């Protein structure tokens, strides 16, 4: 009888553990997993860059004198781009990226700036559409083919 109780207890404990989130970010109420990919064309997969799942919600950059990134704001595409390219808090606002670095045309590695969004070009589909990775794209970090019509392109000063 004692052995049966141990088995029942172990099964119950395992059942509870199986329902707990593995990622600490998923344990926060109202927080969605912040890194996934959405593909609109089958050709886009050919240009995908493999990455691990990342949670950028509380990122702090402190190595080699870099500025602290701070907590993620409600509109966070510019903040996420700072985690990739650096820069001060003024770059949390997407349109301010239009003054970062130097002007460029569309190319892999360029920062692409629209009126209310910012991302970076990571590839090109076989159909000629640019693949853009950006934060706060549908509430998450996504990499997907996008139209860059009407956008401004910038590259870092050393690029």
Report whether 81 contacts 113 (CB < 8 A). Answer: no
70-100 pLDDT per residue, tens: 888 888 999 999 999 999 999 999 999 999 9
Does 56 fall in a domain? yes
Does 11 fall in a domain? no
Average pLDDT over residues 112-128: 96
Identify the CATH number of the domain in which residue 66 sits: 3.90.1720
> At residue 47, does pLDDT exceed 60?
no
Does 20 fall in a domain? no
pLDDT of res. 32: 43
Does 8 fall in a domain? no
Does 48 fall in a domain? yes
Number of domains in the chain: 1
Query: What is the pLDDT confidence band of residue 2, given thresholds at 50, 70 and 90?
Result: low
pLDDT of res. 4: 61
Mean pLDDT of the chain: 74
Does 104 fall in a domain? yes
Enclosing domain of residue 131: 33-155
Beta strands in 26-148 (DSSP E): 102-104, 111-113, 118-124, 130-134, 142-146
22: Cα within 13 Å, side-chain hemisphere: 2
Percent of the chain exceeding pLDDT 90 equals 50
14-41 pLDDT per residue, tens: 554 545 555 544 444 444 443 334 433 4
């Amino acid at each position: 009888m004692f052995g049966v109780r141990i088995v029942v207890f172990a099964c119950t404990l395992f059942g509870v553990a199986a329902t707990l989130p593995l990622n600490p970010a998923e344990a926060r109420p109202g927080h969605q997993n912040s890194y996934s990919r959405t593909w609109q064309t089958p050709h886009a997969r050919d240009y995908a860059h493999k990455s691990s799942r990342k949670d950028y919600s509380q990122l702090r950059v402190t190595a080699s004198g870099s500025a602290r990134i701070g907590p993620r704001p409600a509109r966070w595409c510019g903040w996420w781009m700072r985690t990739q390219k650096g820069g001060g808090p003024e770059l949390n606002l997407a349109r301010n990226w239009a003054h970062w670095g130097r002007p460029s045309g569309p190319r892999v590695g360029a920062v692409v700036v629209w009126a209310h969004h910012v991302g970076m070009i990571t590839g090109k589909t076989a159909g000629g559409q640019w693949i853009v990775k950006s934060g706060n794209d549908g509430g998450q970090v996504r990499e997907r083919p996008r139209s860059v019509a009407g956008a401004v392109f910038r590259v870092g000063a050393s690029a």
